[in-house]
Amino acid sequence: MRPATGLRHARAQPGALVPNAGAIGLRGARARLGTLAPTTGRTDRRPARARLGALTMIAAATGLLACTQDPEPAAPPVPEAMARRLTAFEYANTVRDILGVEAALTREFPADPPALGFDTVAASQPPSALLVQIFQHSAESIAAATLASESARAALMVCTPDPADPTSCLRAIVEPLLTRAWRRPPTDGEIGRYVALVDPAELDSGLRLVIEAALLSPHFTFRWEHDAGAPGESHWLDDYALAARLSYFLWSSAPDDELLALAAVGELQSEPVLAEQVERMLADPRSAGFVDGFAGQWLYFRGLDDIFRDAHRYPRYDDAVRESMREAMRRRFREFLVPGRDLRDLLLDTHAHVDAELAALYYLPDELAVDEFTRIDLGPHKRRGLLTEPGLMTVLAYPFASSPTRRGRFVLEQLLCSPLPPPPPEAATQAESDASTARERLAQHRADPACAGCHAILDPIGLAFEHFDAVGAWRGSEHGELIDASGELPTGEPFSDVRELAEILADDPRFPRCVATKVLTYALGRPLVAEDQPVLEDIIKNFIAADRDLVALVVAVVQSDPFRIRRAQEAP
Amino acid sequence: MKSATRRGLSRRALLAGGVALGLPFLDVMRPRARAAEAVRPRRLLCYFVPNGVRGDAWFPAPDPELQLSPSLAALAPVKDRVIVFSGVANTPGMPELPGSHASGTAAFLTARKARRSEVDLHVGVSLDQRYAAAIAGATPLASLQLGCEGGGSFGACDIGFACAYHRSISWSSPTTPLPKLTSPRLAFDVILAGDDPSASAAARAARRATRRSVLDVVLADVHDLEGDLGAADRVRLDAYLVGVRELERQVDAPAGLGACTAASPPDEPADFLAHVDMMTELMVLALTCDRTRAISFMLGNAASNRAFPFLGVEGGHHDLSHHAGDAVKIAGLRKVDAWQAAQFARLLQRLADTPEGDGDLLRSTVVLLGSDVGDGNAHTHRDMPVLLAGGDDLWGGGRHLVYETGTPLARLYVSILQALGLPDTSFGEDGDGPLPGLRLDA
C-alpha cells in the first residue's frame, strides 16, 4: 500500500490544517480553483474533484505536496441517492467529536425507524417539522453545555478578539467550527453571516448563538451532496462528501481533521489512500460507531434496550445484565475489525467475553466472576460463537419463552439473506396446543399443509437453539422433557446441536454474500438495485478471495463505484 | 357539501333510505336543542391503542343508551360524554398478505391501504393532519404527535412493511409519516416552544430576540441550499423550511404563555405508569394553552409486546392477543383492555375538569379512540373498537351506535371533519359521506 506523500505530511500534523489559520489560505486557494475550473456555476466552494492543474496551486498554498495524477476517468453510472439526515446516534457522536460535549437530549429524540434493517437508509427518514423544533432545543442545550465546559470552551477559543479589530479573530473561531460541523469549509459569505451573530463585547453569548445556528442549520442536520454534473449524469463525489460518507459509515460521526485535510488536497479518491484510511478508522475508538451502528442493527443487539423479561421467571435479567449482554456481543464483533480474521469465526469461535453480570448465566464458579470482561473458553459450555450469545438469544425470544421461529428467522434473514415468504393469513390464529416442548408444538403446526412448507425450513434451525432459554441461559429440559436440539436441514445436512449448525452456516456460500449485502446497504443508505449487482458481485469476490476478512470487505465497499460516485439528481 | 347541509332526518326518510337497520332512531330524531348556542369543536385528539380488543368484554350491549361493558367500566364518570360504535370496519387496513398490524396502524387515521414496502412508503393523509392543514397558522404548533413507546432500532417490524407504519399514525402526506415524541421533557419543550415558564417576562422576551437572529441565519442557509439541490433532496429541504418557518412563527407570536406559565417541566418518568400520566398531562397542557389543536397519541406502537406485570398479567400484549383460545391469556387481555380504557377515561376527565369559555375543554375537543385491528387473535379489520368523546353539542353522549357490520370507519371521519368545520364530503378509500345518525342536528 502506497501512502501518498501529502498524507504523510497531514498525518505528521494532525489537526493542524483545518482549525487554524492555514485553512483560510486553503479556502482562498479553493475559491480560486473554482474560478479556474467553472463547470456548472455551482462549484464555487466545492469543485468536482481537485485533480486539475490547479491542484499544484492548492498544494503550494497549503504547504502540501500532492502526487500528480493522470486525467480523471469518466465516472461510471450509479443509481441515485438521497440526502441523509443524521440519525440520533450519529448526531450524538458528531456533537461529541466536534465540540467535546454530550448531546444529552438525543437520548430522547424520536426513535429512528429502520428500513431494510438499518436506520441509515435515507428512505426511512422522512422530513418532519417536529424534528426541526427538536433540533432547536437540542442545539440550545448543546451550545450552553459547550460554553459551560472549560475544555470545550477552550478548544473553541483559538484566539482572543482584539477589541480594536475583533473580526479576524472571530473568523478564526467561527471558520473551523463550521468546517467541522458542516464537514466542509464554509464560504466567505457563510463565515460573515455567522460572525455577525457575535457582539465582541459579549463573546460567550455571541458564540452561543453561533453554535445554536450552526447545529440547527440544515448543513449540520443533513448530509447534502453536491451535484456537479447535468441531471442524471454520474460524477465523482467531491472529496468532502466522500470524507463524510467514510466517517459516517465507519464512525457514525463527523470526519476528523485528517480526513478533512485529505479532502482539502483532493487526495481522498485515491484507492490506496481509501484503503489506508479504512484501516486507520477501524483501529480508532470511534469505530464503536460501526460496531453499534452496523453490527448493533445487523445482529440485533441494539434492540436489547426494548427487551423486557418477567422478573419472577428470569430473576437474573436486569438492566446491568442487559448492558453486559450487549457489551459481550460488541466485543465479539470488534475482534473482526483488524485485518487477517476470517468472518466465519464469528460463528465458530470457541471463546466468549464474560463479566460478573454474565457469569451467572454461564453458571461460572464465583471465583471466575470478575467485574472486568474476560475471555473464557466455551469448550465445557456447549456453546459456540455468535449464535449462543446470551444477548442474541434474549432478543430472539418472547418475554416468557424462547422462540424457535424468531431464531430461525434471524438465521435465514440476517445471516443468509434468504427470507421466507410471509405466512398465510390464517397463521395469525393459532390453534390451542397442549404440547410441552417447542418441538412438539411446532410438529403440530407443521401438520397444517399451509404452514408446512416454510416451517420445514424454519423449524430445524430454530429448534437447534432450544437449549437456550429466553435470557440465553443453558437448559437441559423444558417442562420435564429433555430437549433435543438435533436436526437436519432441507438440504439433508444433519447436525446434533447448534454448534454443528454453526459449522454448516459458516460454510454456506450465502453467508459471505449476505454479509457483503448488509454492509453495502448500510454504507450506501439505500436499497440495492439491479444496477448495483455487478458491483456487489465484485465486492463479494474480493471478500471471499481475502478469506472473508471484514476489513477487506469494508475496503472493497469504500473503493466501489457507488460509494465514490454520485448521480446528479433530476432538476426540481 | 351536500351532507353538511342536510337537515334532520325524518324517521320515514331513514326507513326509506334502507340505511337505518340498527340505527338508534331516538337519538337521531332528538331535536337540535342546543344547536343555536353551540360552540363548535375546534380541537381534535386521536388516541391509538395497539393490538385490538377482546370484543366480548369491550363492546356494550346493543342498547342505544350506553351500558358500559366490563372493559369500559372506567369510563363511568364521563359516560354521558362518550359514544361507543359497533359494527364499524376499517377495510382498507386489511393487507392482502399478513402484516395486519402495520397496515391496520397505517390505516387507523388514513382509511387507506398502505403500500407494502420497506423504502417506498405510501398510505394517505391522516385525519388529524387533514384538520391541522385546514387550520394551519391558528396555533404555534400545527399539530403534535405523542406516544409512550419509541421502538428499537433493529430488525424488521412487520413482514415487508417499513417500521414507520408501526410507529406513526399521523401522516402529513401520503408519503410522510410523522415521528412522535415519547420523551415528556422534550414534549414539554416543544409544547412551550422552549419558553421557560419560570423565567421573567423580560428574560423570555430577550430569548425570543436571540432566537430570531439565529433563525435568520439558519433561513439564509436554507435559501443558499435551495438552488443547489435536485428534486429528491429538494423535498426534504422544503420540509425543513416548513419546520424553520414554524419556529419563526413561535418567536414572532405575541409573547405570553397564558395558562402555561403555571406548568413546570416533567422529570424523567420512573416507570411506564408515570410515563402515561405525564403524556396525559402534556396533552391537556397543550390544549389548555391552545398551543395546538391537533394531537395524535399512541399508547403503544403497532403489535406492542409490552408486559403488564402491574396488572398481574403474564405475557406481552401482542403475544396475549394471539391467545389461541387460552382462557388465562384472554383474561389477561381483558385486564389490559380495561386498563387502557382507564387511561383514556382519565384523559377525558382531565379535559372535562378544565374550564373553557362557558363550558369545559372536553366540549370543544373531539376525542377519538381506536386501534389497528378489531380482534387481535384473528387480525380482523371489522368490528373495530371505536370510541368518540367530547363535542357534546354536536352529538351528545351516553350513546351506543350500532351499525350494520362493515360500515366504513372513514364515514365517521367525514362526520368529524364536518363537525370541525371542514367542507369535506369524503375521506380515505371508503368514506363516501358522513356517518348517518351521529349528529344531533343532521
> Residue B281 has which C-alpha cell?
398531562
* pLDDT value at residue B170: 97
pLDDT-based confidence at A3, cuts 50/70/90?
A: very low
Is A311's Cβ below 8 Å from some Cβ in B? yes
Q: pLDDT: is A445 or A488 the higher one?
A: A488
> Residue B271 has which C-alpha cell?
416507570
Indicate whether B381 belongs to any domain.
yes
- State the Cα–Cα distance between residues B181 and B146, nearest whole angstrom: 5
pLDDT-based confidence at B442, cuts 50/70/90?
A: low
Looking at the partner chain, which of B154, B233, B305 has a beta carbon nearest the beta carbon of A296? B154
Same domain flag for B190 and B275: yes
* pLDDT value at residue B195: 81
- State the Cα–Cα distance between residues B368 and B349, nearest whole angstrom: 14
Q: Given an 8 Å threshold on Cβ–Cβ distance, is B186 in contact with A123?
A: no
pLDDT in tens, A377-400: 998 889 999 999 999 999 998 877
Q: Given an 8 Å threshold on Cβ–Cβ distance, is B217 in contact with A526?
A: no
Query: Mean per-residue pLDDT for B223-227?
Result: 93
pLDDT in tens, B193-212: 888 878 888 888 899 999 99
Q: Given an 8 Å threshold on Cβ–Cβ distance, is B176 in contact with A128?
A: yes
Is A475's Cβ below 8 Å from some Cβ in B? no
With a cut of 80, say whether residue B311 has pLDDT above it.
yes
Q: Given an 8 Å threshold on Cβ–Cβ distance, is A425 in contact with B97?
A: yes
Exposure string for B285-318, b = 16+ CB within 10 A, e = fewer: bbbbbbbbbbbbbbbbbbbbbbbbeeeebbbbbb
Residues constituting chain A: 572
How much is the CA Rg of chain B, to the nearest whole Å?
22
Indicate whether A519 belongs to any domain.
no
Indicate whether A441 belongs to any domain.
yes
Residues constituting chain B: 442
Same domain flag for A484 and A371: yes
Looking at the partner chain, which of A216, A424, A569 has a beta carbon nearest the beta carbon of B232? A569
Q: Considering chain B, what is the average pLDDT of its residues?
A: 87
Indicate whether A332 belongs to any domain.
yes
Same domain flag for B245 and B308: no
- ipTM entry: 0.86
Q: Given an 8 Å threshold on Cβ–Cβ distance, is A126 in contact with B121?
A: yes
With a cut of 50, say whether residue A28 has pLDDT above it.
no
pLDDT in tens, A288-318: 999 999 999 999 999 888 777 777 788 888 8
Query: Mean per-residue pLDDT for B250-261?
Result: 70
Indicate whether B439 belongs to any domain.
no
Report the percent of chain A where pLDDT is more than 90: 68
Q: How far is CA A40 from CA A43, A52, A72, A567, in A?
A: 6, 16, 17, 15
CATH of the domain at B404: 3.40.720
pLDDT-based confidence at A45, cuts 50/70/90?
A: very low
Report the percent of chain A where pLDDT is more than 70: 85
* pLDDT value at residue A446: 84
Chain B residues within an 8 Å CB radius of A216: 214-215, 218, 244
Chain A residues within an 8 Å CB radius of B122: none
pTM of the model: 0.87
Q: Given an 8 Å threshold on Cβ–Cβ distance, is A399 in contact with B305?
A: yes
Indicate whether A305 belongs to any domain.
yes
Query: Mean per-residue pLDDT for A505-531?
Result: 97
pLDDT-based confidence at A486, cuts 50/70/90?
A: very high
Looking at the partner chain, which of B151, B186, B307 has a beta carbon nearest the beta carbon of A111? B151
* pLDDT value at residue A38: 30
Q: Are B345 and B78 in contact (CB under 8 A)?
A: yes
Q: Given an 8 Å threshold on Cβ–Cβ distance, is A111 in contact with B232?
A: no
Final residue of a structural domain among A455, A474, A507: A507
Indicate whether A572 belongs to any domain.
no
Indicate whether A235 belongs to any domain.
no
* pLDDT value at residue B41: 58
pLDDT-based confidence at A517, cuts 50/70/90?
A: very high
Final residue of a structural domain among A223, A248, A270: A223
Is A521's Cβ below 8 Å from some Cβ in B? no
Query: Mean per-residue pLDDT for B393-403?
Result: 94
Is A216's Cβ below 8 Å from some Cβ in B? yes
Which of these ranges, A145-154, A227-236, B48-57, has the smallest mean pLDDT? A227-236
Same domain flag for B202 and B191: no
Same domain flag for B314 and B386: yes
Final residue of a structural domain among B237, B256, B275: B256
Q: Given an 8 Å threshold on Cβ–Cβ distance, is A428 in contact with B98?
A: yes
Q: Which residue segment(s) compose the domain that B242 sits in? A: 198-256
Same domain flag for B222 and B327: no
User: Within a 10 A sphere around the Cβ of A170, how many other Cβ atoms?
Assistant: 23
Same domain flag for B178 and B224: no
* pLDDT value at residue A192: 97
With a cut of 70, say whether residue A507 has pLDDT above it.
yes
DSSP bridge pairs for B389: B82, B367
Same domain flag for A217 and A304: no
Is A193's Cβ below 8 Å from some Cβ in B? yes
Q: Are A109 and A91 in contact (CB under 8 A)?
A: yes
With a cut of 70, say whether residue A100 has pLDDT above it.
yes
Indicate which of B158, B240, B323 best probes the interface with A, i.e. most A CBs within 10 Å of its own CB. Answer: B240
pLDDT-based confidence at A427, cuts 50/70/90?
A: low
Indicate whether A148 belongs to any domain.
yes
Q: Given an 8 Å threshold on Cβ–Cβ distance, is B153 in contact with A432?
A: no
Q: Nearest CA to CA, how far is B219 from chain A (Å)?
A: 8
Indicate whether B204 belongs to any domain.
yes
Indicate whether A568 belongs to any domain.
no
Q: Are A316 and A471 in contact (CB under 8 A)?
A: yes
Query: Mean per-residue pLDDT for A84-112?
Result: 96
**B156 → chain A, closest CA residue:** A117
* pLDDT value at residue B13: 37
* pLDDT value at residue B111: 98
Chain A residues within an 8 Å CB radius of B211: 136
pLDDT in tens, A312-364: 788 888 889 999 999 999 999 999 999 999 999 999 999 999 999 999 899 98
Q: Given an 8 Å threshold on Cβ–Cβ distance, is B154 in contact with A197?
A: no
Chain A residues within an 8 Å CB radius of B166: 113
With a cut of 60, say whether residue A23 has pLDDT above it.
no
Indicate whether B209 belongs to any domain.
yes
In A, residues 222-251, which contact B (CB 8 Å cutoff)? Answer: 222, 224, 226-227, 231
Q: Given an 8 Å threshold on Cβ–Cβ distance, is B225 in contact with A218?
A: yes
Same domain flag for B51 and B113: yes
Looking at the partner chain, which of A114, A128, A428 has a beta carbon nearest the beta carbon of B179? A128
Indicate which of A130, A141, A292 best probes the interface with B, i.e. most B CBs within 10 Å of its own CB. Answer: A130
Final residue of a structural domain among B217, B238, B256: B256
Q: Given an 8 Å threshold on Cβ–Cβ distance, is B163 in contact with A124?
A: yes
Q: Are A361 and A321 in contact (CB under 8 A)?
A: yes
Is A434's Cβ below 8 Å from some Cβ in B? no
Same domain flag for B158 and B271: yes
- Least Cα distance to A217 among A178, A184, A256 occurs for A178
* pLDDT value at residue A449: 82
Query: Mean per-residue pLDDT for B372-391?
Result: 94
Q: pLDDT: is B399 or B140 the higher one?
A: B399
A96 Ramachandran zone, left/alpha/beta (phi>0; psi -120 to 50):
alpha
Q: Nearest CA to CA, how far is A137 from chain B (Å)?
A: 7
Q: Considering chain A, what is the average pLDDT of its residues?
A: 86
Q: Nearest CA to CA, how far is A196 from chain B (Å)?
A: 9
- Least Cα distance to B6 among B366, B418, B430 occurs for B418
Provide the domain count of chain A.
2
With a cut of 50, say whether residue B333 has pLDDT above it.
yes
pLDDT-based confidence at B99, cuts 50/70/90?
A: confident
Q: Given an 8 Å threshold on Cβ–Cβ distance, is B120 in contact with A124?
A: no
Pairing of strands A397-398, A401-402: antiparallel
Q: Nearest CA to CA, how far is A108 from chain B (Å)?
A: 5
In A, residues 387-406, which contact B (CB 8 Å cutoff)? Answer: 395, 398-400
The most confident of A481-495, B241-255, B332-346, by mean pLDDT: B332-346
- State the Cα–Cα distance between residues B164 and A110, nearest whole angstrom: 11
> Residue B208 has which C-alpha cell?
425570543
Q: Nearest CA to CA, how far is B41 from chain A (Å)?
A: 25
Indicate whether B118 belongs to any domain.
yes
Q: What angle do CA A378, A381, A385 make, to 5 degrees?
A: 45
Which of these ranges, A232-241, B140-149, B150-159, B216-225, has the smallest mean pLDDT? B150-159
* pLDDT value at residue A50: 37
Looking at the partner chain, which of A89, A114, A131 has a beta carbon nearest the beta carbon of B243? A131
Provide the domain count of chain B.
2
pLDDT in tens, B18-63: 333 333 333 333 333 344 444 455 899 999 999 999 999 999 999 9
Q: Given an 8 Å threshold on Cβ–Cβ distance, is B309 in contact with A134?
A: no
Q: Which residue segment(s) compose the domain that A131 sits in? A: 84-223
Q: Given an 8 Å threshold on Cβ–Cβ distance, is B182 in contact with A136?
A: no
pLDDT in tens, B102-116: 999 999 999 999 999
Q: Nearest CA to CA, how far is A568 from chain B (Å)?
A: 7
With a cut of 80, say whether residue A66 has pLDDT above it.
no
pLDDT-based confidence at A430, cuts 50/70/90?
A: low
Exposure of A307 by Cβ count < 10 A (0-12 exposed, 13-18 middle, 19+ buried)?
buried
Is A435's Cβ below 8 Å from some Cβ in B? no
* pLDDT value at residue A29: 35
Same domain flag for A314 and A417: yes
**B185 → chain A, closest CA residue:** A108
pLDDT-based confidence at A65, cuts 50/70/90?
A: very low
Q: Given an 8 Å threshold on Cβ–Cβ distance, is B307 in contact with A422?
A: no
Same domain flag for A216 and A298: no
With a cut of 70, say whether residue A11 has pLDDT above it.
no
With a cut of 50, say whether residue B9 has pLDDT above it.
no
- State the Cα–Cα distance between residues A64 and A26, nearest whole angstrom: 10
Q: Are A226 and A241 in contact (CB under 8 A)?
A: yes
> Residue A92 has which C-alpha cell?
450524538
* pLDDT value at residue A43: 29
Final residue of a structural domain among A489, A507, A525: A507
3-state secondary structure of A452: helix
Indicate whether B341 belongs to any domain.
yes
Indicate which of A132, A140, A233, A310 best probes the interface with B, i.e. most B CBs within 10 Å of its own CB. Answer: A132
- State the Cα–Cα distance between residues B186 and A138, nearest whole angstrom: 9
With a cut of 50, say whether residue A528 has pLDDT above it.
yes
Q: Given an 8 Å threshold on Cβ–Cβ distance, is A432 in contact with B152?
A: no
Q: pLDDT: is B320 or B252 the higher one?
A: B320
User: Within a 10 A sphere around the Cβ of B256, how many other Cβ atoms?
Assistant: 10
